[in-house]
Amino acid sequence: MEFPFDINQLFSERISVMDQTLIAGRKSAGRPDLQAHIATVIDELGRASAKAQQLTAPITSASKLQSQRHQLYLLKDGESSGGRGVVVGFLKVGYKKLFLLDRQGVHIEAEPLCVLDFYIAENLQRNGYGLELFDFMLQHKNLEPVLMAYDRPSPKLLSFLAKHYCLTQSVPQVNNFVVFEGFFLNRTVVQLRKVPPKKPDGEIKPYSLMEREAVRQEQRSLPWPFAPSHSPQRSVYSQYSHSLSVGSSPTRAPPRVAPPSSPGGNRDQSPRSPLVDRCRARRTSSLNRSQLGFH
Ligand code: COA
């Protein structure tokens, strides 16, 4: 993604981490002119991501980033465009209070780190950039992908998670978030808490209303836990039959967990955890076996 200004002047690192301040390193601090360019870049990325996901409006923009406690990781290629650099893509994450169902269908309150938006420029997709960005974020947050929640992931993101992190088995939810097997095992990291069974409706806050809610044009029915037909203790296994809660775009097709795609020729970053190690090792070994003619 090219811009009519020097990307390398704005972003000194290959991956910049930005928050409410919209400052991307020392250079842009106290420089309104550079911050205006940074805002232009974020707005443009947000628009491109919304288009790629067929959302009615962007869920990422400079003004949204300024008003929310999210973090945006931006990846550039500093060598392209005659040394001025191009923007490759971004990943936006943030903590959300969510009501989730565990494997037994018990409602659990959790505040995991969520993937809120993720985009790599069309012409650069499937080259390993998404993995580079995602791995960087995992290291920065010191987190495993299985401990995160994914806000209405697109089929491409589901395929990405299956391929790189072996995340294929999701735990059915009644909201638009996807979590995977293993999420509920580490209670300390994701701060899980069983929701008390007899809590009066009025005390339960609509925690997970979020930016995708802002682009919501349709389906104005009451979200869980307010909808009368859903008691907090009821287990619901129709994962994507509702778009009840909590702030996802209604315009994107319901997510489906895709099977792991076959190993491609993408650049693999060094894996971080034993789990990811095993996943990637399995992939490599099956690739080697098929190359050797084993089946
Ligand atoms: N169709 C299906 N799967 C795709 C895909 C596509 N067009 N593009 C990427 N993927 C998945 C596949 O699993 C792919 O592996 P494969 O090529 O062996 O099938 C893997 O991602 C490639 O990994 P990587 O190159 O690191 O990913 P990326 O740089 O393409 O970034 C996304 C992944 C999802 C960020 C990128 O595809 C994208 O921006 N998509 C459009 C926006 C989007 O859907 N964002 C998710 C928001 S919920």
CA of 122 to the centre of ligand 1 (A): 10
pLDDT of residue 29: 76
Q: Is the CB of 80 under 6 A from ligand 1?
A: no
Pairing of strands 98-101, 170-171: unpaired
Separation between Cα atoms, residue 193 and residue 187, nearest integer Å: 8
Tell me the chain's radius of gyration from C-alpha atoms.
20
CA distance 2 to 80: 9
Does the beta carbon of 177 lie inside 6 Å of ligand 1?
A: no
Substitution candidate for ligand 1 out of 159, 168, 262, 286 with most atoms within 8 A of CB? 159
Q: Which two tokens stand for residue 286?
A: 């099956």
Distance from the alpha carbon of residue 118 to the mean position of ligand 1, in angstroms: 10
3-state secondary structure of 173: coil
pLDDT value for 293 = 43
Task: Let me know: does 190 contact 111? Beta carbons within 8 Å.
Answer: yes
Residue stretches of the annotated binding site for acetyl-CoA: 118-131, 154-163
Per-residue model confidence (pLDDT) at position 290: 44
16 in ligand 1 pocket by Cβ < 6 Å? Answer: no
Q: Which sign does the torsion angle of CA 261, 262, 268, 274 carry?
A: positive
Mean pLDDT by 10 residues, the chain (295 residues): 92 96 81 92 98 96 96 96 94 96 93 97 98 98 96 97 97 95 78 61 44 48 38 32 35 44 37 56 50 43
Give the list of residues 6+ apart from residue 176 with CB closer than 8 angstroms, or none.
Answer: 151, 152, 212, 243, 245, 246, 247, 248, 255
What's residue 74's pLDDT?
98
pLDDT of residue 67: 96
* This prediction's pTM: 0.77
Label residue 145 exposed, middle or buried (CB < 10 Å: 0-12, 13-18, 19+). buried
What is the predicted pLDDT for the residue at 23?
A: 87
Find the 161 Cα to ligand 1 centroid distance in Å.
Answer: 9
In terms of DSSP H, where are the helices of the chain?
Answer: 7-10, 32-52, 62-67, 129-141, 155-165, 187-190, 211-214, 274-291
Q: For ligand 1, is residue 136 a contact (CB within 6 Å)? A: no
Q: Nearest-CA neighbor of 167 among 85, 260, 81?
A: 260
Kindly list the structural domains of the chain, giving each domain's residue range(s) and its CATH number in brackets, ordered by start. Answer: 7-194 (3.40.630.30)
Q: What is the pLDDT of residue 60?
A: 98
Alpha carbon of 27 to those of 38, 42, 71, 77, 120: distances in Å? Answer: 12, 17, 19, 18, 25
Mutate to test the pocket of ligand 1, among 77, 93, 126 (most ligand atoms within 8 A of CB): 126
How many whole angstroms separate alpha carbon 95 and alpha carbon 111?
6
User: What pLDDT does 282 receive?
Assistant: 54
